[in-house]
């Protein structure tokens, strides 16, 4: 019997008998073996003693035997099964298994300790293995995102939810007593638009920058109040405070309590007002002070009964059958023939009321030497002026000469003139002498 001892550190798949050969050392026919790998490449031949470790020796009953090893020591795996893709199978005893990492894992090997560290490099997973907060955007990174459920408050019922793509329905029960509340609704910075039904009354927070508590008015579906007590805030009617608790009495008509600004608005307030645009007063109205009538530059006066003051030249305009104008100035003229130098103190006009001479003129005809007219009062006498004298002129359209001093006359005082020039010829001549004056306020 031969003793076969096979000592190997690496994998040798199968050993078979190759037959008898001469022992090269002894020259005798000894039983010898050939140790070869499964691919037929011999690795050892001769009549030697082989010692094996961690092997299984099997007699094949055909003159051969098989030695099966179990690796370098202890148990080992030839095939690594995976749930997806192909299983990993060792092709030889020296085959290398390569581990690869995904985008959020890092594999680090340490030869000294024969260890492999698997490190997570994403924050989406916590150290406890759970998905981190806000790691997944619902309805974007997930399919069928859903809320587990919604709980309804008083008077509100929630149905649905708790499943993927579920529809949540909220319904209210208008008859639910718990939906009502007592007391005042509290309004604050975050309550804009908040409403709550109270037993007395409906309350809500307005949309102001700082929301304030408001109360909805009681009323029908058409907005008509069904009941009321007093106004929360009193109002003024015709100048009188009114809160709804009692009637108010409006006294004499004033601009405050009438509130009318046009003739049409006065219709119905004043008994004889027509409301057609012209305000009609009662017979013989009495005004305690002055009355302002329309005035301005060239005011429109184009209908019967209209009046206005034209401030362009201080004229009073009115419309009767047509537009008329009344000037504040009066004019007096006298025609004098054959004036000579000796004509002095010729009376011209007597003032009934106090007045003021504002302008004079002299239009002549037939003179070769023009008269020079000097006006004066018949009391002092004092020459009026300036200027103090006016030279007559035969030119048509001669302008009037304004008088600005010594030109005031009292009631009953007369004005006269002197001819201070040796006018000629002394026959066949005429002089039209005029003055303009105003009545002083009495």
Confidence of residue 114 (pLDDT cuts 50, 70, 90): confident
3-state secondary structure of 177: helix
**Residue 44, CA atoms < 13 Å, CB-side half-sphere:** 14
pLDDT band at 3 (very low <50, low <70, confident <90, very high): very low
Question: What pLDDT, in 10s, does the model give residues 357-385?
Answer: 999 999 999 999 999 999 999 888 888 88
More confident call, 42 vs 213: 213
Dump pLDDT digits (tens) for 296-311: 999 999 999 999 999 9
Query: With 60 as the cut, is the pLDDT of residue 85 above it?
Result: yes
Q: Is residue 63 left, alpha or beta, with left meaning phi > 0 and alpha meaning psi from -120 to 50?
A: left
Give the range among 82-96, 217-231, 380-394 with minimum mean pLDDT. 217-231
Confidence of residue 37 (pLDDT cuts 50, 70, 90): low
Nearest to 421 by CA among 368, 379, 360: 368
| pLDDT bucket at 337, cuts 50 / 70 / 90 | very high
Count of CA atoms in the C-beta half-sphere (13 A) of 259:
6
Would you list the domain boundaries of the chain? 1-94, 295-327, 329-439
- Evaluate if residue 99 carries a pLDDT over 70: yes
**Mean per-residue pLDDT for 238-251?**
80
Can you tell me the mean pLDDT for 205-224?
64
Q: Does domain 329-439 have CATH number 2.60.120.230?
A: yes
In terms of Cα–Cα distance, which of 330, 400, 388 is closest to 362? 400
- Of the CA atoms within 13 Å of residue 193, those in its CB half-sphere come to 0
Higher-pLDDT residue of 139 and 387 is 387
Q: What percent of the chain has pLDDT over 90?
A: 28
pLDDT (tens digit per residue) in 4-15: 333 333 333 444
Q: DSSP letter at 49?
A: -
Q: 395-434 pLDDT, tens per residue?
A: 887 789 999 899 999 999 999 999 999 999 989 999 999 9
Residue 264 has pLDDT above 70, yes or no: no
With a cut of 80, say whether residue 215 has pLDDT above it.
no
Q: What is the pTM (predicted TM-score) of this model?
A: 0.40
Residue 290 has a pLDDT of 82
What pLDDT, in 10s, does the model give residues 147-206?
667 777 656 777 877 666 677 787 765 554 444 555 666 777 666 666 666 555 666 777
What is the pLDDT of the chain when averaged over all its residues?
75
Q: What is the pLDDT of residue 4?
A: 38
């Amino acid at each position: 019997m031969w003793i076969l001892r096979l000592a190997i550190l690496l994998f040798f798949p199968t050993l078979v008998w190759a037959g008898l050969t001469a022992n090269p050392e002894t020259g005798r026919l000894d039983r010898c073996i050939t140790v070869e790998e499964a691919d037929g490449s011999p690795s050892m031949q001769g009549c030697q003693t082989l010692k094996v470790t961690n092997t299984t020796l099997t007699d094949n009953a055909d003159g051969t035997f098989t030695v099966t090893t179990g690796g370098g020591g202890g148990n080992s795996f030839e095939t690594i099964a995976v749930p997806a893709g192909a299983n990993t199978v060792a092709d030889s005893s020296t085959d290398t298994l390569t581990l690869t990492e995904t985008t959020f894992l890092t594999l680090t090997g340490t030869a000294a300790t024969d260890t492999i560290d698997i490190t997570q490099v994403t924050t989406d997973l916590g150290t406890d293995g759970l998905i981190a907060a806000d790691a997944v955007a619902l309805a974007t990174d997930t399919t069928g995102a859903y809320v587990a459920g919604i709980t309804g408050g008083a008077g509100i019922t929630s149905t649905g939810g708790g499943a993927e793509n579920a529809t949540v329905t909220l319904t209210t029960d208008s008859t639910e007593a718990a939906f009502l509340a007592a007391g005042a609704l509290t309004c604050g910075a975050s309550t804009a638009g908040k409403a709550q039904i109270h037993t007395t009354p409906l309350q809500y927070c307005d949309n102001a920058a700082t929301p304030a508590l408001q109360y909805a008015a009681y009323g029908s579906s058409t907005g008509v109040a069904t009941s009321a007590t007093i106004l929360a805030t009193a109002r003024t009617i015709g100048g009188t405070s009114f809160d709804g608790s009692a009637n108010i009495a409006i006294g004499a008509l004033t601009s405050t309590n009438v509130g009318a600004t046009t003739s049409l608005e006065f219709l119905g307030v004043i008994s004889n007002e027509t409301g057609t645009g012209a305000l009609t007063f009662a017979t013989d109205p009495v005004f305690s002070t002055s009355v302002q009538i329309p005035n301005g530059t060239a005011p429109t006066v184009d209908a019967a009964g209209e009046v206005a003051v034209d401030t362009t030249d201080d004229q009073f305009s009115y419309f009767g059958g047509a537009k008329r104008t009344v000037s504040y100035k009066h004019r007096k003229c006298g025609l004098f023939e054959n004036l000579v130098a000796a004509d002095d103190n010729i009376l011209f006009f007597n003032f009934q009321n106090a007045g003021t001479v504002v302008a004079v003129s002299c239009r002549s005809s037939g003179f070769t030497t023009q008269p020079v007219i000097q006006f004066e009062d018949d009391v002092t006498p004092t020459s009026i002026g300036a200027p103090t004298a006016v030279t007559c002129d035969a030119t048509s359209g001669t302008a009037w000469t304004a008088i600005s001093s010594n030109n005031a006359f009292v009631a009953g005082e007369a004005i006269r003139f002197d001819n201070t020039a040796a006018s000629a010829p002394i026959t066949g001549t005429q002089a039209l002498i005029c003055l303009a004056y105003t009545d002083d306020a009495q």
